[in-house]
Every structure is written in structure tokens, then in C-alpha cells.
Amino acid sequence: MNTSINADRAARFEEQRKKKMMAQSLEYGDNVPAQPGSATSMGGEARTDTAGSPSQESSSDPAPTRHAPATESERVFEKSKYESSTPFKSPKGDRFS
């Protein structure tokens, strides 16, 4: 009796595996590997795009808006390209008038 239960389980497992493989081959096609690989193992070039890495992107800014400071004192007092050159002045008067 034990062998028939094990045989039944094995047969059901094998059938489920075949169904899963069939669904996977229909979904992904026969020429796509089941496990994802790296670009080099897939025969392609290594990825050099830095779109997902802001720290690498910032080093290649296309047009920095200011020149590099000439002296140390210029470097200390220079504003960054993101800082306003004029301080913010709020409009006078209350907001309800």
C-alpha cells in the first residue's frame, strides 16, 4: 500500500512539473533561459549605462553652470550652483488682504 501512495505522489508531482514547464515555455518562449544570466553569459556587452546610479551620473554633468574657484577664499565664499545668489525676501503685508 505504501508503494502505491508513493507512486501516486510521484506521478502527480511529475504531472505538475510538466504543466509548469509547459506554461513556462508558453509564457517565455523556448529560446529564453529559465534562469536569468548576466549580459556576458548571454553573449551581450556589459552594461555601461548609469541611469540608475545618481552618484555616477553627477560626475558627468553636461554643463556645470559655474567655473572652479581660483583661490581658497573664493572656494569658501562661493555659492553652489543650487544656491540662490540673492537672498529670499518675502512679500510685505499679510496674506489675507
The three-state (H, E, C) secondary structure of the chain, written as one string: CHHHHHHHHHHHHHHHHHHHHHHHHHHHCCCCCCCCCCCCCCCCCCCCCCCCCHHHHHCCCCCCCCCCCCCHHHHHHCCCCCCCCCCCCCCCCCCCC
* Of 75 and 47, more confident: 75
Residue pointed to by grid coordinates 558627468: 60
CA distance linking residue 76 with residue 87, whole number of Å: 18
Assess contact for 66 and 81: CB atoms under 8 A: yes
Cα pseudo-dihedral 75, 78, 80, 86, rounded to 10: 170
pLDDT digit string (tens) for 14-66? 999 999 999 988 888 755 555 555 555 555 666 666 667 777 776 666 655 66
pTM of the predicted model over 0.75:
no
